Structure 1
Amino acid sequence: MKILLPFDGSAAALEAVLMAIRLAADGLDTSVVLANVQEPASLYELMLTQDPQLIEQVSAAAGANTLKPAQALLGEAGVAFESEVATGDPAHTLVDILENYGCDMVVMGASGTSTLRSALLGSVSNELLHAAGVPVMIVKSFEDPTSEVEVQA
């Protein structure tokens, strides 16, 4: 089973990585598409740098750096994975990645935002839950959302 595993570096995203590892350890024939979606550059960033290529390079490097802790965990556990860093609207871009890689399932962390904030701003996990044509497992973080997570890569 090919699992799309969106990863933003949060505690909830780390819980999702651990869940995917548990699924593999429990005998599910698993490979993972580890994905990070960077927001497009703002008008301010474009005006400040005046070099869209530089912004793309920095964004790609930031995404690759964000994926390192998840890659280390998956590698240690012996779970096969591919990595993808993309730019765009997170929910729509994740649906595109899901389809491009032919993923059978999504395992992702819940941000833990309040119901009001989620209703007003929208939630990537909520949008993906409704837009994906495959099962979506949303993993809640057991960590205190205000604490920082430290993972050595």
Structure 2
Amino acid sequence: MAPAHVLVPLDGSPLADEALVHALNTFDCRVTVLNVVAPLDSGMSEGGVLEPGDERQTEARSRAEEIVERAKRRAEEVGRNVETSVETGDPAETIVEYVEAHGVDQVVMGGHGGSRNELARRLLGTVATAVVSEAPVTVTVVR
């Protein structure tokens, strides 16, 4: 059964951009692009290395808004519309929570490339691996 609502988490990486293209080319349904801003005190953000501060959080939020707006423009170029969202939290947890709260029935996301072997977590990426294992819906990982 074809999905009615596809979520494409974007992090600004080339593979995330490929995931958006894949979703737009594959699914003729509602598409939402999501960027998750990791809190500056989390290990997934620069705050794990640098001192957190309001200026850094504002810069991270601005970058997130740029990422989803760029995705919106890219979709418009191919005659599609996408909804956009920027959330704050742990990326994997926030993606799964978004799926559950917004009636998403398919996730399309980028993973980290490389040859397949026992290091699947490293190859797919920690966020993609967590979403694949925790999401209650089908997850397509674009590599």
User: TM-score w.r.t. structure 2 length?
Assistant: 0.78
Which consecutive unaligned segments of at least 5 residues does structure 2 have? 41-46
In the TM superposition, residue 117 of structure 1 has moved relative to its aligned partner by: 8.3
Aligned length: 131
SS at match of 1:14: helix
Distance in 1 (alpha carbons) for counterparts of 2:34 and 2:114 = 21
Given candidates 38, 45, 61, the residue that maps to 2:51 is 45
Q: Does the aligned pair in 1 maintain the 2:72–2:83 contact within 8 Å?
A: no
Question: Quick one: which amino acid aligns to residue 67 of structure 1?
Answer: V
Higher RCO (CA < 8 A, seq sep 6+): 1
Distance in 2 (alpha carbons) for counterparts of 1:139 and 1:118 = 14
Q: Does the aligned pair in 1 maintain the 2:68–2:85 contact within 8 Å?
A: no
* Aligned counterparts, 1:13-32, within 5 A: 13-24=16-27, 28=28, 30-32=29-31
Question: Quick one: which amino acid aligns to residue 26 of structure 2?
Answer: L
In the TM superposition, residue 77 of structure 1 has moved relative to its aligned partner by: 2.0
Mark the CA change 1:2 to 1:59 in structure 2 (over 3 Å): closer, same or farther. same
Residue equivalent to 1:35: 34
Q: Does the aligned pair in 1 maintain the 2:96–2:134 contact within 8 Å?
A: yes
Q: Does 1:124 align with 2:127?
A: yes
The one-character-per-residue Cα deviations of 1:76-133 (angstroms, maximum 9, x if unpaired) are: 22323211111221100111111222111001111226764835xx611111001100
In the TM superposition, residue 58 of structure 1 has moved relative to its aligned partner by: 2.6
Question: Quick one: which amino acid aligns to residue 95 of structure 2?
Answer: L
Question: Quick one: which amino acid aligns to residue 45 of structure 1?
Answer: E
Residue equivalent to 1:57: 58
Which consecutive unaligned segments of at least 5 residues does structure 1 have? 141-153
In the TM superposition, residue 68 of structure 1 has moved relative to its aligned partner by: 3.1
SS at match of 2:34: strand
Structure 1 window deviating more from structure 2 (60-69 vs 131-140): it is: 60-69
Distance in 1 (alpha carbons) for counterparts of 2:114 and 2:88 = 23
Root-mean-square deviation (CA), in Å?
2.4
User: TM-score w.r.t. structure 1 length?
Assistant: 0.74
Distance in 1 (alpha carbons) for counterparts of 2:120 and 2:142 = 19
Q: Does 1:79 align with 2:85?
A: no
> Percent identity at matched positions?
33
